[in-house]
Amino acid sequence: MRNYDLTNFSRSSIGFEPFLSILNGASRRLEAEGNFPPYDIIKKDDANYCIRLAVAGFSPDDITVTAQQNLLKVAGRKASESGKQYLHEGITDTEFERRFSLADHVEVTGAGYDKGILEVELRNEVPEAAKPRKIPINGGSAQMHLS
């Protein structure tokens, strides 16, 4: 990840402190989160999405998927394999946790695991009351009645 030095900007700016704080927090979170496991976010259509994570070396029993309001957490923790002596260990068994922010009306509809790939299905179900609607304009009156 690229690092941007915002100190010159912050020294000569007034009122941008909350914005700069958000940027700094996001970059620290990305650095701490690392790049494992790699993932894709796929838009299937206007309402359906899929998050696909490459979790090679983890079984479905090693992975937990937790959905709560506006947040999806995917975590992996392997039981230790005692008695094995590795000459080279390239497939990680490091525990991980990925967090995904979800919009208000996005719900997790299911999860599946096949050949080291975890897929989490999401649906964006916006209720009718929250959808934009066209308001008809009444005519015939030259004056508006103000109360």
Check which CATH number belongs to the domain holding 64 and give it: 2.60.40.790
Residue 98 lies in a domain: yes
Query: Do both 1 and 72 map to the same domain?
Result: no
Residue 144 lies in a domain: no
The pLDDT, as a whole number, for residue 102 is 92
Query: Do both 122 and 87 map to the same domain?
Result: yes
Categorise residue 85: left if φ over 0, alpha if ψ from -120 to 50, beta otherwise.
beta
Q: What is the pLDDT along the chain (147 residues), one digit of tens a residue?
A: 455 666 655 555 566 666 666 666 655 555 545 678 999 999 999 889 999 999 988 999 999 999 998 999 999 998 777 788 878 877 777 899 999 999 888 999 999 999 999 999 999 987 777 778 888 998 766 555 555
Supply the range of the domain harboring residue 112: 35-128
Residue 12 lies in a domain: yes
Q: Tokens 């700094």, residue?
A: 24
List the beta bridge partners of residue 52.
40, 119
The pLDDT, as a whole number, for residue 147 is 54
Residue 61 lies in a domain: yes
Which spans in the chain are helix H?
7-11, 17-33
Opening angle at CA 129, ends 121 and 71, nearest 5: 35
Q: How many domains does the chain have?
A: 2
Query: Do both 28 and 46 map to the same domain?
Result: no
